[in-house]
Structure 1
Amino acid sequence: MNHRQVEIFAMVMKSGTASRAAELLNITQPAVSRSLSELEAEIGFPLFDRVRNRLLPTPEALLFYRDVEASFQGMDKLRTSAAWIRDRGAGEIRMASLSALSSSVVPRAISWFRAKHPDIRVTLHVLWSRDVRDRVASGQFDVGLAADEIDVSGIHYQNFINHRALCAMPARHRLCGLEVVRPRDLEGEDLVSYVPEDRLRKQIDVTFRDAGVAPRIVVETIYASSICSLVSAGVGIGFVTAHAAGGLDCSKIVLRPFEPAVGSRSLLIMPFDRQKSQHLRAFIDCLLAAR
């Protein structure tokens, strides 16, 4: 039994005659009759009673046709699914990002992507970089942005942004008049900082130590957005990148270059050994353009 035999049988059932089925299938009537005879011989029971040049379905044929219809409906679903994937690709983009880029680059990229692909849902999780790495590596997310301190084994990665740290201070702070902030300027100031294991925090600690300055850290956090909020609330001075400060109310926070320069690097990461869908490629293009 092959698909063509079943297709011809189904067309005879729908049209009622071999001649009409032949016409609809653009084949000859003898070809229809031969196909039905071959199908009957293969399945082991008659499909039609030939009465006065008419084909009357047997009870067995009616039962068989029920399953044939179900299989054709399944094929229709497959065709619909294929068309949907062709036109829209994978229906969801799953992304994880470190906090420092979640309020500037990522929203901008998502906005641009959604303008071109409004039917594609984007899922965004803001996580610590090592969690971004682990979830991308396990295939839970399609793409991620993480600090370069992560373990890059088992993932595809490329350089995304090189960040330079800026000194963030509450508006009208006494240091706002400086064009450049140096470690000595922060002697005795309250600082909101990243947790000690953060790579940028380690660089800043070395800078203070080399300058002989002991900062007074009053709050530690893992998120750049939290540092921005704490600085805006007047809790203290912090260090963020320009991208982390994107979208902030500039009336509440002032950014100044910090010398000597310290910074970090973020990576764009993807699961290892997995092909990218067309829409994932488009989304990554938006991320790269939004930097």
Structure 2
Amino acid sequence: MNLRQVEIFRVVMTNGTTARAAEVLHVSQPAVSKMIKDLERSLGFDLFSRIKGRLHPTPEGQLFYREVEHAYLGLSHLRGAAARIRDFGSGELRIACLSALSTNVLPRALSAFMSRNPNVAITFQARMSSTVRDLVASGQFDLGIVADEIDQTGVTVAEFSQFRVAVGVPGGHPLAKLKMIRPQDLDGVPFIALAPEDTTREEADAVFEGLGVKVRVVMETPYSTTICAMVAAGIGVGLVDPLTAEPYVGRGLTLIPFETGLYFRTLLITPPNRIASRHLEEFVNDLKQAI
């Protein structure tokens, strides 16, 4: 089996007849028929049934055609990648980010970057920090923005940002009248908590336990944006970072400073042993400006 035989088989399947395939390929019909027979001989099974002079794909031929199409899709992707590299160098950025910064910092940074680099292809996904870490560690993504509780093995890590924790309370809630909320003020209050493995959640739990405060956890979620949405819906209060809360303030959520000095901390991670492209370095600078 060779690539020319496979190409001719694909053209026959696409056009339906050897005569039409011969026209497309600018070869004779007997040459097409011979190539198909040679391919069948090398594969060890018939690709077509020949009925009254016409070719009809066998089940094996149809199955083989599906595999051929998969291979050609891969080749098409390679051609596209080669064209981007030829025209723009390393003209692609693949970025993954935790949800909390995906609706604020990331859009601002991307807007600034793409205004200067309109031809750079951007792939972006908002995922849980643990998933972002796996995507970067495997080399599938060039840059990840994650919370600091991730497993840091297998990635290159740099500190990115920290935001002081505030308390999000529903509009009209008794706590909304306070200028500062103490941990004791949350005793017995319906509370929307971050996931147990979250570093900020662990630090907050230690503060509550040390003061004998028992918050009434009604929901757990790994996403700060979900906490904000649930607070705005009146389900409970929650610890949030002010940046994530911005779109919800005045729309069902009131943001109150938290007396305890807790912080949300984020990291930038990249694949190990990989030299950062010029585009990646430029985008990281835009990220820092967008905080």
Deviations 1:207-235 (A, max 9, x none): 11112111111111111111111011111
> Contact (CA 8 Å) 2:168, 2:255: kept in 1 or not?
yes
| Structure 2 CA distance for partners of 1:165 and 1:82, relative to 1, 3 Å | same
Q: CA deviation at 1:245?
A: 1.8
Q: CA deviation at 1:82?
A: 8.4
Structure 1 residues 23-34: aligned runs within 5 Å: none
> Contact (CA 8 Å) 1:108, 1:290: kept in 2 or not?
yes
Q: CA deviation at 1:254?
A: 1.0
Between the aligned partners of 1:245 and 1:87, the Cα distance in structure 2 is 41
Partner of 2:209: 209
Query: What amino acid does structure 1 have at the position aligned with 2:140?
Result: Q
Partner of 1:15: none
Is 1:94 the counterpart of 2:80 in the alignment? no
Tell me the TM-score normalized by structure 2: 0.68
Structure 1 residues 3-42: aligned runs within 5 Å: none
Query: What amino acid does structure 2 have at the position aligned with 1:287?
Result: L
Partner of 2:197: 197
Structure 1 residues 36-115: aligned runs within 5 Å: 85=85, 88-115=88-115
Partner of 1:270: 270
Q: CA deviation at 1:264?
A: 3.0
| Structure 2 CA distance for partners of 1:261 and 1:195, relative to 1, 3 Å | same
| Structure 2 CA distance for partners of 1:139 and 1:84, relative to 1, 3 Å | closer
Between the aligned partners of 2:194 and 2:121, the Cα distance in structure 1 is 32
Partner of 1:37: none
SS of the equivalent of 2:266 reads strand
Partner of 1:167: 167
Q: CA deviation at 1:247?
A: 3.1
Q: CA deviation at 1:122?
A: 1.8
Q: CA deviation at 1:142?
A: 0.5
Is 1:250 the counterpart of 2:250 in the alignment? yes
Partner of 1:71: none
Partner of 1:231: 231
Partner of 2:144: 144
Tell me the TM-score normalized by structure 1: 0.68
Query: What amino acid does structure 1 have at the position aligned with 2:107?
Result: P
> Contact (CA 8 Å) 1:88, 1:279: kept in 2 or not?
no
Between the aligned partners of 1:253 and 1:95, the Cα distance in structure 2 is 30
| Structure 2 CA distance for partners of 1:107 and 1:247, relative to 1, 3 Å | farther
Unpaired segments ≥5 residues, structure 2: 1-80
Is 1:126 the counterpart of 2:126 in the alignment? yes
> Contact (CA 8 Å) 1:137, 1:270: kept in 2 or not?
yes
SS of the equivalent of 1:247 reads helix
Q: CA deviation at 1:249?
A: 4.6
SS of the equivalent of 2:125 reads strand
Q: CA deviation at 1:139?
A: 0.4
Between the aligned partners of 2:189 and 2:84, the Cα distance in structure 1 is 58
Between the aligned partners of 1:104 and 1:228, the Cα distance in structure 2 is 14
Partner of 1:154: 154
Between the aligned partners of 1:89 and 1:246, the Cα distance in structure 2 is 37
Moved more, 107-116 or 275-284: 275-284
Is 1:280 the counterpart of 2:280 in the alignment? yes
Query: What amino acid does structure 1 have at the position aligned with 2:263?
Result: G
Partner of 1:260: 260
SS of the equivalent of 1:260 reads coil
| Structure 2 CA distance for partners of 1:213 and 1:138, relative to 1, 3 Å | same
Q: CA deviation at 1:277?
A: 2.0
> Which protein is bigger by CA-based radius of gyration?
1
Query: What amino acid does structure 1 have at the position aligned with 2:124?
Result: L
Partner of 1:32: none
Partner of 1:49: none
SS of the equivalent of 1:243 reads helix
Between the aligned partners of 1:165 and 1:216, the Cα distance in structure 2 is 19
Between the aligned partners of 2:110 and 2:217, the Cα distance in structure 1 is 35
Query: What amino acid does structure 2 have at the position aligned with 1:251?
Result: R
> Contact (CA 8 Å) 2:95, 2:142: kept in 1 or not?
yes
> Contact (CA 8 Å) 1:99, 1:244: kept in 2 or not?
no
Aligned-residue RMSD, C-alpha? 2.0
Between the aligned partners of 2:92 and 2:248, the Cα distance in structure 1 is 29
Runs of 4+ aligned residues of structure 1 deviating over 4 Å after TM superposition are 81-84
Deviations 1:5-32 (A, max 9, x none): xxxxxxxxxxxxxxxxxxxxxxxxxxxx
Aligned-pair identity (%): 43
Between the aligned partners of 1:125 and 1:84, the Cα distance in structure 2 is 21
> Contact (CA 8 Å) 2:147, 2:266: kept in 1 or not?
yes
